[in-house]
Structure 1
Amino acid sequence: MTLARDRTKPALHGGLSTIEYFTFGFGTMIGVGWVVLMDDWLARGGPGGGILGFLIGGLLLFPIAHTYGRLVQRIQDAGAEIAYTEGVFPPLVSFAAGWTMVLSYAIVCPWEAVATGNLLARVFPSLNSYELYAIGGTAIYAPRLAVGLALTALIASVNYRGIKPSGVFQDVMTFGLLATFAIFTVLGFARGSTANMQPLFSQPGALGPWLSIFLVLQIVPYFMTGFESVAKGSEEAKAGFDPRNFTKAIYAALIAGFLFYVIVIAVVTYVYPWREIVSGHVRTEVAFERTFGSHAIAQLILFGAFLSLLKIFNGNFVAATRMLYAIGRRNLVHPSLGRVHAVHGTPTVAISLMAAFTAAAAMFGDAILVPITEVGSLAVGVGWLSACAAYLARRRRDGHAHESATMAIVGCVVSAAIILMKIVPGVPGSFTRAEWIAFVAWSGFGLLFWMLRPRLITKTR
């Protein structure tokens, strides 16, 4: 029995080029961790551990990216992992893969809504006023919440009006970030010193370098999630689009992603003593401001971070709504999620639901969202594993037995390792009680939807 989408319904409109697919893949990956979490990264690995951790981690994800590239060339479906697994695995497996991937994108959206208010409050301290309530000891301020809700409305509006406006928005935000990144990187390498990078690794002893790298490797999947989002927009390519360009966009996004992290860690630790960053919890823009004695360069970095917030919000919003749309189109949840606007060609019900979820979750603030966000690492590991396993299962069935299975096998191993790092007790970075509760709750909702689904469409595609 296979899942099948209803081809009688209006289809999504096209319009995306290779550039847009790159900016969605890269933009869904890079957020503001490079500004607000630099002290944590350096505490884990130091400059050497951080640089090598992201470099090695990025290279380890290449087999997964390669497998997605193969699959999306043959199957252009907004459901991605659902479409890849249907027909070769039981329907419940396809639904579970899709449902967990929805979580990996959806949970990022309220986090970005909250983070935007937090970031702007650094520039405009008056936003830290008019406390509404507190959750987990963290105050929720009316102006900051209003910023997050307004941004949610903006992203939803852009997405409602069509994939092309959303793609143009993504292009502007992504290349704006890269421009600001280039400016402060060049300035940083012109001013700093290698003495600030010593010692290279944070962990002591003979095994210190290896442990430093490992501790950073653990967080790489979370910060590198996004290159596979290219597949979620594959139905919305412009006319005459060469499917091979999907693979090029995925590769380009992955390479640009890990190089971005490698370079930013290098330049920040070159500019400012990294041990002081760790001990004083110094943010990236503060490190540059202290070194240059200029508030302007800090403002430039914060401007780049703001652009980064907008693009990662938009990218994850698009990916989440397309997954919801694909699930609804298959009648696995309420079929209204599969509706497409007759004029704009966008999944309007899925967009409205995602906007409502984002707004509601943002009201809980980062005290609740921080632990829940970690669940995304496990969710994306499940999605990656399902895609790589589906490629292996489809290889002979679809007449591609001549293709090497090595990359997909390695992809399965890497994905399984990511999952194990999150669920095995005692492993640094494994799930806490709060994260288990969040994951079980999401899985429970998914199981409920599965049990209450209108029906499985058994017609083979």
Structure 2
Amino acid sequence: MEQKSSSFDKVLSSWDILVIAFGAMIGWGWVVSSGSWITTGGVGGAALGFVIGGIMVFFVGLTYAELTSAMPQCGGEHVFSHRAMGPIGSFICTWAIVLGYASVACFEACALPTIVTFLFPDFLQGYLYTVEGFDVYASWLAVAVIVAIFMTYINIRGVKAAAKLQTLLTVIIAGAGILLMVASAINGDASNLESQMFVGDDGFSMLKTTLAVAVMTPFFFIGFDVIPQAAEEINVDLKKIGQILILSVVLSVVFYALVIIAVGLALSGPEILASEKSAAGLVTADAMAKVMNSAMMAKVIIIGGMCGIVTSWNSFLMGGSRALYSMAESYMVPKTFSKLHPSYKTPINALYLIGALTILAPFAGRKMLVWVVDAGNFGCCVAYCMVAISFIILRSKEPDLARPYRVSHYKIVGALAVLMSGFMVVMYILPGSDAALVPQEWAMVGGWCFLGLIFGFLCKQKYGERFGLLVDIISDEDAAALQSTDEEISVALDGAIDAAINKILTQRKLNMA
């Protein structure tokens, strides 16, 4: 293990890390998918499903909270899994999470110009080609590429600049969501809920449809784990970091559940079905238009969803670059990815790589990117499971490790976290499940694994014993203490050398006399 002081600037406040995590979890799904959630489980069933899914993610979040406070280093999962499982386990875990972050960032680059078409129907101009049934237009590509360049530039300018953008957009998202909730509570019709609280004829079928929603929900909560990636840049008490991470999960659960209830109050069952089958299929936006009695207000929700896309994109670009940086620091991928910008202290080459992928991704069309993001979500769930296992291992392996945020009943929490995250992984693998990967997605997972093997083999050959070296970041206080000790040793050595020289010179003078 190698020790050094952090190369990053500690600039993120409590608010910054809260909006980074919350913004990552609240993307476009609450605008585009609310109708399918309700038709699957009913208003009550869908809201309850999100609570159940949130509880599943909550236990995984608890393991992250403790480990982040104990090891506040850039890379998060990389450090946790390395301390618990060694370099091979760490490589698998971190490479999986990089796939997750990069894939979501690429998907958002396609999702953003797609939303612009909802706001401006005549936006699509200059037909170029078709990929898997998706028509690619010059105007659509131009918006995607320009925004991708801007997002990469913002992240290169520093994590604080990215956090400021995140704050602005998260406030807009929250404002749009709260406006919908308040308007639905005032102008909505409670009788709409009577016929669509749950889907099913009996208790068992209602439970089944509720769980069908719950199975989908963890994939909408991916993003809280961005906090550990930027741990070295957080200027907050270590115990508080864990608390904020958990708070971000709770706020996301509440937000999703209240949006579902608001849509249920605004629209009846037939209206939700009609909205889903419309050209836009934006049920949440139609709910806002009805309760505000204005078609223009639907665009407020669409703008909120657009901001959600950018906040997710911003967070995952940040997380992916830090994960790649941490792998490069451990000589697991080419060392060039550990280079920091001389002024902004950001992993510039890692950002260039992921930024380049987001610029190129739109050229593949939206359908292919859906496959990529599903493969990436699978990678995230694999990493979650490995972190949960690392949590249990480290409680046994390093019981005296300082844990500012310490989870009570760790065996129960750890077991539930492993079971919950493992369940998500199984749902991606199990044929016939709603989340099962299709052959194209398995091909992408396989390709990513193959690329990882190539990187691992080449770096092992090039760096030898340094491959998998864990760099331990020491605190500023410890670094100052070490520097002080070094200075004291240096002064003592200088004094000893001077005394020895004087003694030799004195002896020579005596001999000459």
**TM-score > 0.5 by shorter chain:** yes
Question: For residue 502 of structure 2, what is the aligned residue in structure 1?
Answer: none
Q: Select the residue among 425, 448, 468 that pairs with 1:442.
A: 448
Offset at residue 364 of structure 1 (A): 1.3
Question: For residue 329 of structure 1, what is the aligned residue in structure 2?
Answer: 329
Give 1:248's aligned amino acid.
Answer: Q
Offset at residue 88 of structure 1 (A): 2.6
3-state SS of 2:341 partner: coil
C-alpha separation between the residues in 1 aligned to 2:31 and 2:316? Answer: 19
3-state SS of 2:130 partner: strand
Distance 1:44 1:375, change over 3 A: farther
3-state SS of 1:126 partner: coil
C-alpha separation between the residues in 2 aligned to 1:242 and 1:341? Answer: 26
State the aligned residue count: 455
Moved more, 408-417 or 392-401: 392-401
Deviations 1:136-156 (A, max 9, x none): 011011111111111111111
Question: For residue 221 of structure 2, what is the aligned residue in structure 1?
Answer: 224
Distance 1:60 1:100, change over 3 A: same
Offset at residue 288 of structure 1 (A): 2.5
C-alpha separation between the residues in 2 aligned to 1:136 and 1:57? Answer: 32
Offset at residue 95 of structure 1 (A): 0.4
Question: For residue 139 of structure 2, what is the aligned residue in structure 1?
Answer: 143
- The answer to whether residue 379 in structure 2 is matched with residue 374 in structure 1 is no
Offset at residue 446 of structure 1 (A): 1.3
Offset at residue 440 of structure 1 (A): 1.4
State the Cα RMSD in Å.
1.9
Q: Select the residue among 162, 175, 182 that pairs with 2:178.
A: 182
C-alpha separation between the residues in 2 aligned to 1:275 and 1:38? Answer: 14
For the Cα contact (< 8 Å) 1:27–1:311, is it kept in 2? yes
Q: Select the residue among 196, 200, 211 that pairs with 2:192.
A: 196
C-alpha separation between the residues in 2 aligned to 1:5 and 1:193? Answer: 63
Q: Select the residue among 273, 276, 286 that pairs with 2:271.
A: 276
3-state SS of 1:133 partner: strand
Question: Which segments of 5 or more consecutive residues in structure 1 lack a partner in the other structure?
Answer: none
For the Cα contact (< 8 Å) 2:180–2:259, is it kept in 1? no
Q: Select the residue among 113, 121, 128 that pairs with 2:124.
A: 128
Distance 1:5 1:194, change over 3 A: farther
C-alpha separation between the residues in 2 aligned to 1:193 and 1:400? Answer: 57
Moved more, 212-221 or 396-405: 396-405
Give 1:429's aligned amino acid.
Answer: A
Offset at residue 159 of structure 1 (A): 0.7
Question: For residue 338 of structure 2, what is the aligned residue in structure 1?
Answer: 338
Offset at residue 293 of structure 1 (A): 3.2
Deviations 1:63-120 (A, max 9, x none): 2111111101110122111101113314211101001101111111121111111111
- The answer to whether residue 312 in structure 2 is matched with residue 302 in structure 1 is no
C-alpha separation between the residues in 1 aligned to 2:83 and 2:325? Answer: 19
Question: For residue 103 of structure 2, what is the aligned residue in structure 1?
Answer: 107
Matches within 5 A, 1:295-444: 295-400=295-400, 404-405=409-410, 406-444=412-450
For the Cα contact (< 8 Å) 1:201–1:208, is it kept in 2? no
For the Cα contact (< 8 Å) 1:57–1:217, is it kept in 2? yes
3-state SS of 1:43 partner: helix
Question: For residue 58 of structure 1, what is the aligned residue in structure 2?
Answer: 54
Q: Select the residue among 457, 470, 489 that pairs with 1:451.
A: 457
3-state SS of 2:128 partner: strand
Deviations 1:224-264 (A, max 9, x none): 111121111101013xx211111121111101111111010
For the Cα contact (< 8 Å) 1:378–1:419, is it kept in 2? yes
C-alpha separation between the residues in 1 aligned to 2:306 and 2:364? Answer: 21
Offset at residue 419 of structure 1 (A): 0.8
C-alpha separation between the residues in 2 aligned to 1:192 and 1:383? Answer: 42
The structure whose residues are more often helix, as a share, is 2
Give 2:129's aligned amino acid.
Answer: Y
C-alpha separation between the residues in 1 aligned to 2:384 and 2:33? Answer: 25
C-alpha separation between the residues in 2 aligned to 1:290 and 1:193? Answer: 11
Offset at residue 44 of structure 1 (A): 2.1
C-alpha separation between the residues in 2 aligned to 1:87 and 1:275? Answer: 54
Question: For residue 248 of structure 1, what is the aligned residue in structure 2?
Answer: 243
Offset at residue 286 of structure 1 (A): 2.2
- The answer to whether residue 286 in structure 2 is matched with residue 289 in structure 1 is no
Q: Select the residue among 226, 234, 239 that pairs with 1:237.
A: 234
Matches within 5 A, 1:25-64: 25-64=21-60
3-state SS of 2:38 partner: helix
C-alpha separation between the residues in 1 aligned to 2:435 and 2:48? Answer: 18
C-alpha separation between the residues in 1 aligned to 2:76 and 2:302? Answer: 34
Give 2:437's aligned amino acid.
Answer: F
Give 1:163's aligned amino acid.
Answer: V
Offset at residue 164 of structure 1 (A): 0.9
For the Cα contact (< 8 Å) 2:56–2:218, is it kept in 1? no
For the Cα contact (< 8 Å) 1:272–1:288, is it kept in 2? no
Distance 1:5 1:269, change over 3 A: farther
For the Cα contact (< 8 Å) 1:14–1:163, is it kept in 2? no
C-alpha separation between the residues in 1 aligned to 2:2 and 2:131? Answer: 42
The TM-score with structure 1 as length reference comes to 0.94
Offset at residue 447 of structure 1 (A): 1.6
Moved more, 82-91 or 242-251: 82-91
C-alpha separation between the residues in 1 aligned to 2:469 and 2:29? Answer: 45
For the Cα contact (< 8 Å) 1:80–1:231, is it kept in 2? yes
**Greater Rg by CA:** 2
3-state SS of 2:7 partner: coil
Give 2:8's aligned amino acid.
Answer: L
Moved more, 256-265 or 104-113: 104-113
For the Cα contact (< 8 Å) 1:113–1:148, is it kept in 2? yes
For the Cα contact (< 8 Å) 1:29–1:223, is it kept in 2? yes
C-alpha separation between the residues in 2 aligned to 1:59 and 1:274? Answer: 28
For the Cα contact (< 8 Å) 1:152–1:359, is it kept in 2? yes
For the Cα contact (< 8 Å) 2:183–2:291, is it kept in 1? no
